[in-house]
């Protein structure tokens, strides 16, 4: 569709949606009545300190919770549960004052996300999406990790760079890249797989050298305790976005969600095999991973923000009203996330819809 054929008012509608998203993002300040900004980051900051002062108690949930000294969350365990390799990021930050460390990580995430979007020729407006503001408010490194992943996807012809970027993400939050091996295998990116694996091992070995090998065995022993903690906490389950948690909320066996794993893997294989656009690739590999992860929280929706923003920018596409609707659902359900995840996953499917007729226009055929 040529620019001249864009229906009157579509640019205005797009601008209005972005303004509404920006205002909704600003409304995240209302959460200050419930918790301070950067609350989740406190876990990382305290964990980084404990890695230096008491590494043997790093995965002692009660100890890490006491170090945070947060009376308004009394009775709630707040553990450090990321792998020891993530300490190579969090431990240096813990040497800074809390607010300085929090601001540094969040600004780094914004910078990396914008750099990745620029390299992928995606819109900067991804920062206006409410899930991004929510993840920053929580103090999660989601924007940083999503930016690194998008950068890795843009370096397809440079496996060393892509592999190292993926390795960094995998050693901070490995569950985010559950389906990455499927994606890389679909494109025959064997060197990238090798570099990712070797790079990850080097980072893990470096963390063991700095913080001790015992923290790795402590981490592995802590994982079952953490899963039980989540399963016993209705608040965490309600804030989770994965089908596993939603089934658990309904009193069903969350393991039934693993039946979606073959579907998610097939979707990733199909998208990467046909070398789809980067928004589709990002949604497939990250959205598919969130779909089958046993632990995926609402702040992780920000991983998909670059792809959602890219779809919202396709105002010349006849299916843009469908994209706008999906983007709106993605944005307004950030507090709970189940519908947001479904809306983001629907975008690649909507892009294949045929025969969509615009007001005053002709049907849009596949490939336009």
Q: How many CA atoms lie within 13 A of 178 on its CB side?
A: 19
Are residues 19 and 330 in contact, defined by beta-carbon separation less than 8 angstroms?
no
pTM of the model: 0.91
Mean pLDDT is highest, among 222-226, 230-234, 337-341, for 222-226
- Which one-letter DSSP state was computed for residue 286? I
Phi and psi at 169, nearest 5°, equal -60, -45
- Residue 1's Cβ-count burial label (10 Å; 0-12, 13-18, 19+) is middle
pLDDT of the residue at 336: 56
Q: What does the block give as tokens for 278?
A: 């980067």
Q: What is the mean pLDDT of residues 222-248?
A: 85
Look at residue 354 in the predicted model and tell me its pLDDT. Answer: 67
Q: Where are the alpha helices (DSSP H) in the chain?
A: 10-26, 39-53, 61-68, 87-93, 98-119, 130-138, 142-154, 159-172, 180-186, 190-211, 214-231, 234-239, 243-249, 261-273, 278-282, 288-292, 305-312, 320-332, 338-350
Instruction: Please give the pLDDT value at position 319.
Output: 93
Name the band, by pLDDT with cuts 50, 70 and 90, for residue 359: very low
Mean pLDDT value of segment 335-361: 74
Q: How far apart are CA 294 and CA 297, in angstroms?
A: 10
Main-chain phi, psi angles of 232, to 5 degrees: -95, 0
> Does 364 have pLDDT greater than 90?
no
Query: How confident is the model over 125-148, as pLDDT tens digits?
Result: 999 999 999 999 999 999 999 999
Q: What's the pLDDT tens digit per position in 62-118? A: 999 999 988 777 778 899 999 999 999 999 999 999 999 999 999 999 999 999 999
Pairwise pLDDT comparison (286 vs 234), residue with the higher score: 286
Q: What is the DSSP letter of 365?
A: P
Query: What are the pLDDT digits (tens) for 192-202?
Result: 999 999 999 99
CA 231/CA 153 separation, integer angstroms: 34
Average pLDDT, the chain: 90
**Tokens 């990238």 identify what position?**
192
Which of the four pLDDT bands, split at 50, 70 and 90, describes residue 277? very high
Please count the CA atoms within 13 angstroms of the CA of 108 that sit on its side-chain side: 15
Taking residues 150-170, report their average pLDDT: 96
Q: Which of 193, 175, 195 is nearest to 184 (CA)?
A: 193
């Amino acid at each position: 569709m040529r620019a001249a054929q864009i229906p009157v008012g579509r640019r205005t509608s797009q601008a209005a949606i972005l303004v509404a998203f920006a205002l909704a993002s600003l409304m995240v300040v209302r959460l200050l009545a419930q918790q301070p900004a950067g609350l989740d980051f406190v876990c990382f900051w305290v964990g980084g300190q404990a890695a230096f002062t008491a590494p043997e108690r790093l995965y002692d949930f009660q100890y890490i919770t006491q170090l945070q000294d947060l009376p308004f969350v009394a009775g709630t365990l707040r553990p450090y549960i990321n792998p020891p390799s993530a300490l190579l990021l969090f431990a240096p930050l813990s040497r800074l004052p809390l607010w300085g460390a929090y601001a540094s990580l969040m600004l780094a995430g914004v910078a990396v996300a914008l750099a990745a979007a620029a390299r992928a020729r995606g819109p900067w407006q991804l920062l206006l999406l409410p899930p991004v503001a929510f993840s920053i408010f929580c103090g999660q490194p989601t924007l940083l990790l999503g930016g690194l992943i998008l950068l890795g996807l843009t370096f397809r012809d440079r496996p060393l760079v892509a592999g190292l970027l993926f390795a960094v993400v995998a050693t901070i939050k490995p569950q985010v890249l559950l389906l990455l091996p499927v994606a890389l295998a679909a494109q025959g990116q064997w060197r990238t797989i090798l570099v990712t694996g070797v790079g990850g091992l080097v980072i893990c070995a470096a963390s063991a050298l700095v913080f001790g090998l015992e923290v790795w065995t402590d981490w592995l022993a802590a994982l079952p305790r953490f899963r039980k903690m989540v399963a016993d906490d209705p608040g965490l389950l309600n804030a989770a976005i994965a089908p596993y948690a939603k089934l658990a909320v309904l009193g069903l066996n969350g393991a039934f969600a693993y039946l979606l794993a073959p579907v998610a893997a097939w979707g990733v294989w199909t998208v990467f095999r046909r070398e789809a656009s980067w928004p589709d690739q990002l949604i497939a590999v990250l959205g598919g991973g969130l779909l089958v992860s046993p632990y995926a929280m609402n702040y992780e929706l920000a991983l998909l923000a670059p792809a959602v923003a890219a779809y919202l920018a396709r105002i010349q596409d006849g299916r843009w009203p469908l994209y706008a609707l999906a983007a709106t659902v993605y944005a307004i359900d950030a507090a709970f996330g189940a519908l947001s995840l479904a809306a983001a996953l629907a975008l690649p499917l909507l892009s294949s819809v045929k025969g969509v007729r615009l007001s005053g226009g002709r049907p849009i055929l596949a490939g336009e």
